[in-house]
Chains A and B, each alone.
Chain A
């Protein structure tokens, strides 16, 4: 028999009351863990959707300058400013395409043929030549339009000109620069000739060393915006940081909602423990009179709170797994995110918070019990 054993027996003596207190902790742990998992899964989903690794700078015309386009001269200035790093200008448009007798709409990206290799990977086929009429199609566009005849080697009609699909791109995912998965990529020379255009929408700068991002940005700003702001310079690292910071805020907010329910459970434990102290005043008086120290009385009551917390955390942990699975499946659409270690950590966090809340709620009743005057406690009826 130990103080822990005594505490355990007292918890089971009032099993209904103890069970209700445990249910409160269980709900709190589930709330904090499943909402945390949901927030984290959203963050992971963003991570999966966005392929950028933060090595890209996007230069676009400053709003209202030059009709929203970058001139050849500006592109050359940017290319000089970035030094040995690669500057890839591109334009984009949406147009009708015809494959066989099927007509549909598609995004068209125009990139100088020599730069395509620096930006995109071909899964099958080859890169188009600068002077030819070859084009590339995005992986999703290829997958969705196969039955329409849009595949490697197919002929695509845009306006009154015909292009030939020379390659299918590897899936790239969502990016902050271009999203070619559902698009057609054509050489800029063809595009310029076809649409009679010699300006660009944006320039993508691929920085070799991620640590040079700030220096390269500064160099572009110095070159282009010294007198007035002619271009906007954004780096994907900053955008990524903003997005992940927002996702983290969502996680914290959701976990905070869960924490509120755990605090309510803590109040319930405080109530149960205070009741237990009040009911056992005489018993505490006896324990004190036969030589039980204040610290030992306190320990006994803290153990009771700990037992309630451990039981609640254990049950809550198991149920959090189930709830986390449901939340990621229903709200995020991919239950695999639950098995990511960062998600599972929220179950551990919820359990730890449950135990801590329980013990913290037991501190005041335990202290109150320990402070009882043994003479008055013995007289208590």
Chain B
């Protein structure tokens, strides 16, 4: 069964000037363990696709199934729990919580699931796995470099063992060397840990890492290449 399945998904934004069709009958199926890129020009519907895959939004019509559950008709709490339990978000701007230390940022999703014994140790283990030194665990996000912050963000996304990672331009705010290191990390998570990775990007060099590239234009899938 696919981890993510879109069946004739349409998303329409009603605006005073007229309806805007962001997605028009999109069919996608992403299997467990795939590394999928989503590419397309501005306004092609990438962000809308990402939002719906991330259970941040629901389609106007069509069926979306994530981790075996249909998200149509889910209320806000169900969608939130879907994000918490099944999806790991990695943002372009890292989006760590400035009030929390590095290890607390990673521990936070575990706390949302209820305080569990060993959550601190689990957060530390995942941070080590993404290459964050123990000496940085108690630092605040602002004290780390961009690359390190993105590693922490990846650790936060992984800590709840989600069904897939949803990455929005994860290297967009990094220099090319650091960007490559982050891509290598995601690649390692995909190949060694079997993590499904879905990434939205403008950067054509990222296709080297992907098993598949889905190209969107005007809200339609125009190319789905292996």
Contacts and interface: CB of A to CB of B under 8 A. Distances in A.
Interface of A: 1-2, 6, 9-10, 13, 282-283, 286-296, 374-375, 378
Contact of B108 (A1, A9, A282): A1
B172 to A, nearest CB: 14
Contact of B89 (A6, A289, A294): A289
B80 A293 contact: yes
A283 to B, nearest CB: 6
Given A1-B108, A290-B156, A9 B85 contact: no
Contacts of A291: 80-81, 83-85, 109, 112, 160
A5 to B, nearest CB: 9
Contacts of B156: 290
A290 B108 contact: yes
A1 B77 contact: no
Contacts of A9: 99
Contacts of A13: 99
Contacts of B57: 375
B95 A282 contact: yes
Interface of B: 51, 54, 56-57, 76-77, 80-81, 83-85, 89, 91, 95, 97-100, 104, 107-109, 111-112, 115, 156, 160
Contacts of B83: 289-291
A7 to B, nearest CB: 10
The 8 closest A-B pairs by CB, nearest first: A291-B84, A286-B95, A9-B99, A291-B83, A293-B80, A291-B112, A375-B56, A1-B104
Contacts of B111: 1-2
Contacts, number: 57
Given A282-B95, A292-B112, A374-B56, A1 B81 contact: no
Contact of A290 (B77, B107, B109): B109
Main secondary structure of the interface of B (DSSP, over half): helix
Contacts of A286: 91, 95, 97
Contact of A1 (B95, B98, B100): B100
Contacts of B84: 290-292
A375 B108 CA distance: 20
A10 B97 CA distance: 11
Given A286-B97, A288-B80, 17 more contacts: A1-B100, A2-B115, A6-B99, A10-B99, A282-B95, A286-B91, A286-B95, A287-B97, A289-B83, A289-B89, A290-B83, A290-B108, A291-B160, A292-B84, A294-B80, A375-B57, A378-B95
Nearest to A291: B84
B56 A289 contact: yes
B173 to A, nearest CB: 13
A294 B80 CA distance: 9
B80 A283 contact: no
In this complex, the member of B85, B99, B100 whose beta carbon has the largest number of chain A beta carbons within 10 angstroms is B99
Contacts of A293: 76-77, 80-81
Contacts of B108: 1, 290
26 contacts: A1-B100, A1-B104, A1-B108, A6-B99, A9-B99, A286-B91, A286-B97, A289-B56, A289-B83, A290-B84, A290-B112, A290-B156, A291-B80, A291-B83, A291-B85, A291-B109, A291-B112, A291-B160, A292-B84, A292-B112, A293-B81, A294-B80, A295-B77, A375-B56, A378-B91, A378-B95
